[in-house]
Amino acid sequence: MDTSHARDEREFFASCLAGLEPLLSRELQGLGIRRTRPLSGGVAFFCPMLSALRACLWSRLASRILLVAGRVEAASADALYEGVAALAWDGLLSEGATFAVRAHGGNEQLRNTSFIALKAKDAIADAVRASRGTRPNVDAASPDVSVDVLVHGAKATVSVDLAGASLYRRAYLDEAERDALSTSCAQAAALLALAGWEGLADGAALLDAQSADGVLACEAALLAAGGAPGLAREKWGFSGLACVDAAWWDELLAEADDRFEAGLAACAADGAGRIVAGLPSQRRRAAARKRFARAGVAPLVDARLGAWEGADALEWAQELARGGRVLSVASLLAAPDQYATEANAHACYGAFAQAAACATPGGIATAAGADASLEALLGSAPAAAVRSGRGRFAADLRAWDPGAAVRTVAVPDAQGGPDRAIAVRDAHADQFAARLRKNARERRKWARREGIACYRVYDADLPDFSVAIDVYEGDHGGEPGRFLHIAEYAPPPSIDADRARRRFEDVLALAPAVLGALPAHTFAKVRRREKGGGQYRSDERRPFIVNTTEDGLAFEVDLNGYLDTGLFLDHRLTRELVGSHARGARFLNLFAYTGSASVHAAAGGAAETVTVDLSQTYLDWAERNMAANGFDGPDAYFERSDAMEWVTYARRRGFRFDLIFVDPPTFSNSKAMGKRTWDVQRDHAELLIGVSRLLSEDGLAVFSCNLRSFKPDVETLQKYGVALEDITAQTIPHDFERNPKIHKCYLVRRA
């Protein structure tokens, strides 16, 4: 084989994810390329064509390998055309090869990339026709040769893409998933490079206990067995180049084939199953196994099920580390908002941290993604860190030295198995776990005895862990389960924000373990005031609907979509009170929210129910709650209106009600109210005077509010013939007795 032309040194550029340039430079040097220079977005290097082809076949970190054809003037369209046409296209494009041009960048004269590509395409076609007499064909969809034009200032760099398509689109990915998972392949390869992964041939083991797709394990197995990432790739961008001899490539492939076969044999002799990937579901596990098979490394990877939320990660790490094996722990962790719930994320982080503590001398713990909370779990800053990618592809790659010290709290297993060790960040987390466990034992017995499915189990019992935790027994999508709703009380400015956040993360890690719920069924909220107002707010989230019960009645709650779930648990006794007075009554529910009081009134035998709320979303929810209990007949009315305006309207129409429930918000500045705002302390007297005028002669109204500092304007109310009776103490349920100021409740009558 004549390789004389293959040894002519040329200029190339290997592009990569931002941040990976130093790692890519070292990789290219490891492939025998000595002259490398890391730049922004890639590495410039000089070598013979044969070495560049080897880089195409073996590089795990490069996204493309570009042969620099030349640099030309680009101060104008004419200058660009002339410069591109003057390049040696006759020695680059093979006879009959199709081509396409893509352009990037620009300047004052060349602002449109489509126009830049068009001028370059015309220049190439005209140059080839001038030398050969025939114009080459353009194939924009699948060209034999892809030409890259980068305009920067008054110059343009013209290159030929030897790869043709991103090298990150590994051949073991099927066509439908190559775009979605290509970045994961790059980050996995970078993580392994950061870890200095030596492979199974050296007796090492690797654990990825929280794998979403098996990509990291696949990359690790290929590296361990000496498998070239481009070995199974079918199409290359250099196939239409006149300066590349097909025999050179055939020899590189044969060499790679032999090396892979020898590597697989060595790994088999050394013992299979030393790369373990934990997948979250049977479907994900099956898809990962297909990738392992397509890559040819299926015998090297043990794809397991069940460690996605951390139950088995520590056990697996200890298993792999037995017998003196060198163990590395790695994972492509996602950011918290990419998991089912934030608690789900911290369960995965905790499992990774505990497994990472098992990494042995010679091994390392590495993670891509996640956030700084992982550092708090591992108790130290990473030994090395790389920021890779930009925008939605950005991820931090971190590496910790082996033997990290992880603080844990032992939690009795809810199913009666051995205690579970939960990774935590704060030294006082064990006190929270103990208090929550004590509360849970008492509340479960009480709830079982009273037939209560939804209850509060913890309410800032310890000042350092200032959260409210509610338990909801019910079903989601027909599957029964226990669901948790955790609301953090925003800490005062005097409390260190980082410390408060670490403690809240410990709550999210411990609560599902202590209470026997899945982390994916544990939902977290933060109560905070909006600027300039007093209304709690919550970021918009995807709904998570649970069907539950109260007093034998069915209710729909949303544990994730809103700050509140749709069922105020502290009003349990208040709703029962409404139901006990409802027989034969004409019932009005003002500020009705999701209509739970209307359901109780209808169940208590109300002759008719009128449910009033300003939000159509809540009215629809109320209708669903009523319908779920069979109360969707002609005597159930739903009115979308501002409550104050509706009271005025009803008074003018002469409406009368025997029973009225009024549960206004503390404050509201809803856009639907126009310029007017609602303040319960300021406006309650006007509201209750109007409500009293709607009562029948012996009618009764129940008024409740959640403003802890609320003081009724008794003098004004008496002046207008409104009698008020404070029954707050009778309406505080057992699970809220620790916080009796949770609401105020009054009976309202006409004096």
pLDDT digit string, tens, across residues 565-614: 999 999 999 999 999 999 999 999 999 999 999 999 999 999 999 999 99
Q: Between 21-30 and 178-195, two packed helices, what is the crossing angle to 10 degrees? A: 70
How far lies 583's CA from each of 521, 605, 659, 691, 743, in Å? 38, 4, 10, 20, 26
pLDDT classification of 325: cutoffs 50, 70, 90? confident
Query: Residue 29 has which token pair?
Result: 């040097």
Contact 592, 623 (CB under 8 A): no
The alpha carbon torsion through 344, 346, 350, 351 (nearest 10 deg) reads 20
In sequence order, what are the beta bridge partners of 363?
361
CA–CA separation, 68 vs 598, rounded Å? 74
Query: Does residue 527 register a pLDDT over 70?
Result: no
In sequence order, what are the beta bridge partners of 475?
480, 547
In sequence order, what are the beta bridge partners of 467?
488
Contact 742, 732 (CB under 8 A): yes
Contact 489, 467 (CB under 8 A): yes
Helix (H) or strand (E) holding 625: helix 616-628
Q: How many beta carbons lie within 10 A of that of residue 445, not counting itself?
A: 10
Query: Does residue 717 register a pLDDT over 60?
Result: yes
What is the SS3 assignment for 219?
helix
Q: Residue 624 class from Cβ within 10 Å (0-12 exposed, 13-18 middle, 19+ buried)?
A: middle
Reference 365, options 426, 423, 419; nearest CA is 423
What's 239's DSSP letter?
T
User: Could you read off the pLDDT of 478-520 as tens digits, one per residue?
Assistant: 999 999 999 999 888 888 988 999 999 999 999 999 999 999 9
| pLDDT value at residue 335 | 78
How far lies 706's CA from each of 183, 386, 663, 710, 742, in Å? 49, 49, 9, 8, 6
In sequence order, what are the beta bridge partners of 43?
14, 38
Query: Does residue 530 register a pLDDT over 50?
Result: no
Reference 93, options 276, 226, 296, 240; nearest CA is 240
| pLDDT value at residue 332 | 93
| pLDDT value at residue 307 | 63
Query: Does residue 536 register a pLDDT over 70?
Result: no
| Dihedral sign of CA atoms 424, 430, 436, 440 in order | positive
Helix (H) or strand (E) holding 431: helix 429-450
What is the SS3 assignment for 156?
strand
User: Could you read off the pLDDT of 162-172 as tens digits, one per residue?
Assistant: 999 999 999 99
User: What contacts 706, CB < 8 A, 6 or more positions away?
Assistant: 665, 666, 742, 743, 744
Q: Identify which of 151-160, 308-317, 342-351, 521-530 has the greatest average pLDDT.
A: 151-160
Average pLDDT over residues 175-203: 89
User: Could you read off the pLDDT of 258-301 as tens digits, one per residue?
Assistant: 999 999 998 888 766 689 999 989 999 999 999 999 999 999 99
| pLDDT value at residue 531 | 39
Query: Does residue 543 register a pLDDT over 70?
Result: yes
Query: Residue 553 has which token pair?
Result: 């009645």
Name residue 25's amino acid.
S
Query: Residue 33 has which token pair?
Result: 């390329």
Q: Round the average pLDDT of the chain to a whole number and report it.
A: 93
What is the SS3 assignment for 669?
coil
What's 605's DSSP letter?
T
What is the SS3 assignment for 18?
coil
| Residue-wise DSSP of 488-501 | EEPPPTTS-HHHHH
User: Could you read off the pLDDT of 75-103 as tens digits, one per residue?
Assistant: 999 999 999 999 999 999 999 999 999 99
Q: Picking from 189-193, 334-338, 521-525, 636-640, which range would have the lowest pLDDT averaged per residue?
A: 334-338
User: What contacts 621, CB < 8 A, 6 or more positions away?
Assistant: 556, 566, 594, 595
Query: Residue 118 has which token pair?
Result: 């068009």
| Dihedral sign of CA atoms 527, 529, 531, 534 in order | positive
Reference 52, options 192, 249, 232; nearest CA is 249
Q: Picking from 259-263, 319-323, 342-346, 734-738, which range would have the lowest pLDDT averaged per residue?
A: 319-323
Length of the chain: 751
E-strand stretches of 333-477: 365-368, 384-388, 395-400, 408-411, 420-423, 454-459, 467-476
How far lies 324's CA from each of 207, 273, 327, in Å? 15, 15, 9
Query: Would residue 186 be called left, alpha or beta, if left means φ above 0 and alpha means ψ between -120 and 50 degrees?
Result: alpha
> First CA to last CA across the chain, in angstroms?
109
CA–CA separation, 344 vs 356, rounded Å? 18
Q: Picking from 115-124, 176-185, 576-585, which range would have the lowest pLDDT averaged per residue?
A: 176-185
Query: Does residue 311 register a pLDDT over 70?
Result: no
- Range 464-468, long-range pairs (CB < 8 A, 24+ positions): 464/426, 464/428, 464/431, 464/432, 464/503, 465/428, 465/432, 465/503, 465/506, 465/507, 466/491, 466/500, 467/504, 467/507
Query: Does residue 540 register a pLDDT over 60?
Result: no
Percent with pLDDT over 90 in the chain: 83
CA–CA separation, 627 vs 629, rounded Å? 5
Look-up of token digits 């987390």: 429
Percent with pLDDT over 70 in the chain: 96
Look-up of token digits 């790695």: 330
CA–CA separation, 22 vs 61, rounded Å? 10
pTM metric for this prediction = 0.87
CA–CA separation, 421 vs 441, rounded Å? 20
pLDDT classification of 384: cutoffs 50, 70, 90? very high
pLDDT classification of 648: cutoffs 50, 70, 90? very high
Side-chain half-sphere exposure of 659, counting CA atoms within 13 A: 24
What's 550's DSSP letter?
E
CA–CA separation, 167 vs 183, rounded Å? 10
User: Could you read off the pLDDT of 226-255 as tens digits, one per residue?
Assistant: 999 999 999 999 999 999 999 999 999 999
In sequence order, what are the beta bridge partners of 420?
411
Reference 55, options 229, 227, 196, 217; nearest CA is 229
Sheet strand arrangement including 608-613:
636-640, 608-613, 586-590, 657-662, 695-705, 744-750, 722-726
What is the SS3 assignment for 424?
coil
What is the SS3 assignment for 380?
coil
How far lies 615's CA from each of 557, 563, 640, 672, in Å? 16, 15, 7, 9
Reference 116, options 126, 127, 104, 125; nearest CA is 104
